[in-house]
Amino acid sequence: MASTYRQLGLLAEERGDPRQALAWTIRCITLFDTFPHPATEPAPHHLQRLTHQLGTPTLHALWHTTTGHPLPPHIETHATHDENENP
């Protein structure tokens, strides 16, 4: 499932629909209780990239719409972290 969701996210992005790509990425990473889970790679990186593109408010909205729950703080921290900064 994780691989399929990840691929659907990439397909949505290629079709010019980054919001749908982010929704598929959220579905992918929420299949497991731990984050990041190795089976979802590279979805956590896609989450970060799409969040930088669409903004944190969009991430919050799509997370709630997709999961029915608020965005967990540790996932927001990961999604908004700049990979070029020091940890």
How many structural domains does the chain have?
A: 1
Domain-located, residue 30 = yes
- What pLDDT does residue 25 have? 98
Domain contains 44: yes
Report field, pTM of the whole predicted structure over 0.95: no
- Taking only the tens place, the pLDDT of each residue in 3-16 is 999 999 999 999 99
Residue 86 in this model has a pLDDT that exceeds 80: no
Q: Is residue 69 one of the residues assigned to a domain?
A: yes
**Residue 85 located in a structural domain:** no
Q: What is the pLDDT of residues 10-42, one digit of tens each?
A: 999 999 999 999 999 999 999 999 999 999 999
| Mean pLDDT score of the chain | 94
Q: How far apart (Å, rounded) are the C-alpha atoms in residues 26 and 46?
A: 10
Establish if 67 belongs to a structural domain: yes
One-letter identity of residue 73: P
Count of Cβ atoms closer than 10 Å to residue 54 Cβ: 16
pLDDT of residue 82: 76
Q: Whole domain around residue 28: which residue ranges?
A: 2-80
Residue 6 lies in a domain: yes
Residue 24 covered by a domain:
yes
Q: Are residues 22 and 61 in contact, defined by beta-carbon separation less than 8 angstroms?
A: no
